[in-house]
């Protein structure tokens, strides 16, 4: 069926007469044997419903995990053997670098915008586009081609884009990883992650690794995320509208430097981003003069809350240097929420104008 995003997320569980509309949570550690489900670590119908929905959006088979990091660490564990070489983004999510640094593998770091090293002898190329927090973008199609020519697998962390913003499997990637804690769940109240791949054998390995490793998502958390998914199209639309409006007023603001949002034609990543992304989300990055300037901005704003996550209903702002990201002290990632655009723009401008003076 050739439905649009809004229809697909609302109808991700086909309505059945006499049944509830959603995939309500099924709690079971043990099942009465006789059907396909035996035990709660390998089997849960609430997972299956959300895995079907996310897999369909990604264009592959999805396997859920209790967090984005559990999804990423399982992919690394399944794909990499000791002594293998992995390429990771030097400007991507910091815990991914922490994780590979602890593994018995060779690690090569490359900035998302490039230049990239030769992929000869590499087992896995992990990309993140747009990258968190810098919002740089890489050409997934071109990189997947050169990685495959060298015999490497390609995984893309699709957290910032979401499955509605970008479909890395269609662009040539082998694996998608996502922290659904962010915009997919969207309400700042639950952690979840998933892996998608169009390779059934790899999907089975990832699923088995989950069953054996034991890091499984809770049915209640799974249901919450599935409930949130139904409004992803609406939320992303408002968030992107807010980000676009903020971009317009921030780009010429005296207190703001190095403003990034790949949705704007004036952003250096826009050309590549608009070729491979289906829509742009609500996350912007920019620099204020110092950590103190960020603190003042947050104190004066009534609508922007300090928070280290993104993609939620509320507009939030995170000064990344406080977590050890290798970025300037005043760099913030601002996640536009679902507030009214006029209210948000007025609030941000009022909070900033003071800091400029």
Ligand X SMILES: *Cc1c(COP(=O)(O)O)cnc(C)c1O
Q: Which residues are catalytic?
A: 41, 93, 157, 182
User: What is the H or E stretch that residue 237 is in?
Assistant: helix 232-250
Q: CB of 308: closest distance to ligand X in angstroms?
A: 9
Q: State the Cα–Cα distance between residues 350 and 215, nearest whole angstrom.
A: 45
- Which residue of 134, 168, 193, 219 would you call a contact of ligand X, by CB under 6 A? 193
Q: CB of 15: closest distance to ligand X in angstroms?
A: 30
Determine if 162 is a binding residue for ligand X (CB under 6 A). Answer: no
Q: Residue 179 or 239: which CB sits closer to ligand X?
A: 179
Q: State the Cα–Cα distance between residues 215 and 208, nearest whole angstrom.
A: 11
- Which residue of 51, 58, 91, 128 would you call a contact of ligand X, by CB under 6 A? 128
Q: CB of 136: closest distance to ligand X in angstroms?
A: 12
What six digits make up the tokens of 134?
């810098």
Strands 61-65 and 193-197: antiparallel
Find the residue with minimal CB distance to ligand X.
68
Span near ligand X by CB under 6 A; candidates 27-35, 52-60, 65-73, 230-238: 65-73
Determine if 281 is a binding residue for ligand X (CB under 6 A). Answer: no
Determine if 112 is a binding residue for ligand X (CB under 6 A). Answer: no
Span near ligand X by CB under 6 A; candidates 2-10, 56-64, 157-165, 247-255: 157-165
Q: State the Cα–Cα distance between residues 139 and 147, nearest whole angstrom.
A: 12
- Which residue of 129, 159, 188, 301 would you call a contact of ligand X, by CB under 6 A? 159
Q: CB of 51: closest distance to ligand X in angstroms?
A: 17
Residue list 85-104, contact with ligand X (CB under 6 A): 93
Q: Residue 153 or 215: which CB sits closer to ligand X?
A: 215
Q: State the Cα–Cα distance between residues 320 and 133, nearest whole angstrom.
A: 7
What six digits make up the tokens of 217?
């998502």
Determine if 179 is a binding residue for ligand X (CB under 6 A). Answer: yes
Q: Residue 46 or 132: which CB sits closer to ligand X?
A: 132
Residue list 310-349, contact with ligand X (CB under 6 A): none
Question: How many beta carbons lie within 10 A of that of residue 191, not counting itself?
Answer: 20
- Which residue of 12, 74, 85, 132 would you call a contact of ligand X, by CB under 6 A? 132
Q: In what order do the strands lie in the sheet with 85-89?
A: 61-65, 193-197, 175-179, 153-157, 124-128, 85-89, 106-110
How many residues touch ligand X (CB under 6 A)? 14
- Which residue of 13, 53, 64, 69 would you call a contact of ligand X, by CB under 6 A? 69
Q: Residue 76 or 191: which CB sits closer to ligand X?
A: 191
- 3-state SS of 216-235 is CCCHHHHHHHHHHHCCHHHH
Question: How many beta carbons lie within 10 A of that of residue 321, not counting itself?
Answer: 17
Picking from 42, 61, 52, the residue whose alpha carbon sits closest to that of residue 176 is: 61
Determine if 67 is a binding residue for ligand X (CB under 6 A). Answer: yes
Picking from 286, 323, 335, the residue whose alpha carbon sits closest to that of residue 188 is: 335
Q: CB of 327: closest distance to ligand X in angstroms?
A: 14
149 CB burial (10 A radius; 0-12, 13-18, 19+): exposed
Strands annotated E in 54-173: 61-65, 85-89, 106-110, 124-128, 153-157
Q: Residue 31 or 94: which CB sits closer to ligand X?
A: 94
Q: CB of 96: closest distance to ligand X in angstroms?
A: 7
What six digits make up the tokens of 172?
């040539």
Question: Residue 179, Cα to own-chain centre: how many angstroms?
Answer: 5
Q: CB of 250: closest distance to ligand X in angstroms?
A: 22
Q: Which parts of this chain interact with ligand X (CB under 6 A)?
A: 67-69, 93, 128, 132, 157, 159-160, 179, 181-182, 191, 193
């Amino acid at each position: 069926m050739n439905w649009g995003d809004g229809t697909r997320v609302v109808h991700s569980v086909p309505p059945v007469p006499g049944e509830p509309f959603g995939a309500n949570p099924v709690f079971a550690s043990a099942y009465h044997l006789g059907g396909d489900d035996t035990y709660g670590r390998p089997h849960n119908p609430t997972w299956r419903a959300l895995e079907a929905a996310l897999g369909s959006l990604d264009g592959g088979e999805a396997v859920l995990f209790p967090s984005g990091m559990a999804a990423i660490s399982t992919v690394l564990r399944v794909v990499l053997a000791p002594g293998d070489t992995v390429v990771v983004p030097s400007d991507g999510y910091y815990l991914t670098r922490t994780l590979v640094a602890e593994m018995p593998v060779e690690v090569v770091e490359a900035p998302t915008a490039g230049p990239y090293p030769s992929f000869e002898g590499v087992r896995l190329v992990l990309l993140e586009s747009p990258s968190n927090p810098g919002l740089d973008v890489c050409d997934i199609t071109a990189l997947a081609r050169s990685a495959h020519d060298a015999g490497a697998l390609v995984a893309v962390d699709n957290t910032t884009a979401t499955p509605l913003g970008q479909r890395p499997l269609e662009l040539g990637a082998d694996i998608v990883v996502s922290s659904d804690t962010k915009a997919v769940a969207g309400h700042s109240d639950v952690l979840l992650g998933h892996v998608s791949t169009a390779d059934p054998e790899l999907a089975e390995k990832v699923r088995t690794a989950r069953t054996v490793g034991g890091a499984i998502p809770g049915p209640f958390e799974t249901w919450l995320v599935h409930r949130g998914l139904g409004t992803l199209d609406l939320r992303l639309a408002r968030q992107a509208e807010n980000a676009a409006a903020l971009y317009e007023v921030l780009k010429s603001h005296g207190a703001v430097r190095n403003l990034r949002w790949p949705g704007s034609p004036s952003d250096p990543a826009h050309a590549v981003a608009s070729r491979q992304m289906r829509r742009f989300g609500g996350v912007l990055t920019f620099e204020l003069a110092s950590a103190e300037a960020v603190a003042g901005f947050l104190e004066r704003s009534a609508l922007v809350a300090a928070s280290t996550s993104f993609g939620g209903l509320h507009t939030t702002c995170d000064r990344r240097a406080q977590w050890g990201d290798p970025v300037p002290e005043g760099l913030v990632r601002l996640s536009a929420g679902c507030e009214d655009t006029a209210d948000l723009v007025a609030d941000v401008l009022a909070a900033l104008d003071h800091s400029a003076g």
